[in-house]
Amino acid sequence: MPRIAGVDIPMDKPLRISLRYVYGLGPVNTMDILKEANIDPQKRAKELSEDEIARIGNIIDRNYIVEGSLRRQIQQNVARLKDIQSYRGFRHRRGLPVRGQRTRSNARTRKGPRKTVAGKKGVKELHG
């Protein structure tokens, strides 16, 4: 199984799909990389030569931040927002949506499963 940027990519899928398994590479980036390396996007990972793997690896190392360093950078950015006590940092700290979405309904992904709060029992009044 070829390793590109420290990630094992699937053998049987076209390269334009396989390269997306690298954290930080999406559809546009993978096509740009393959165009620069002069490799057919439909070619399977198992058909690559050592030279082609090296070319792809070099292009990624030179032009893109991927995997561990990208995760670290994102973590540092969030930590900075928390440190400067910005609104976005506050939302991150609380585990709420950061980009202005509503929370009255939805937002379950960020807020987690519902925590039911017991409401007041209605006392029936007698009219008479």
Q: Model confidence over 64-113: pLDDT tens digits?
A: 999 899 999 999 999 999 999 999 999 999 999 999 999 988 888 988 99
Q: Is residue 101 part of a domain?
A: yes
- Do residue 93 and residue 51 come from a single domain? no
- Residue that is written with structure tokens 């987690």 in the block: 112
Determine how many CB atoms are found less than 10 A away from the CB of residue 68.
Answer: 12
Q: Identify the domain containing residue 17 by its residue range.
A: 3-64
Instruction: Give me the pLDDT at residue 46, please.
Output: 87
Q: Is residue 120 part of a domain?
A: no
pLDDT in tens, 44-73: 988 888 899 999 999 999 999 998 999 999
Instruction: Read off the tokens for 83.
Output: 């440190």
- Do residue 79 and residue 58 come from a single domain? no
Three-state DSSP at 3 gives strand
The total domain count for the chain is: 2
CATH code: domain of residue 87:
4.10.910.10
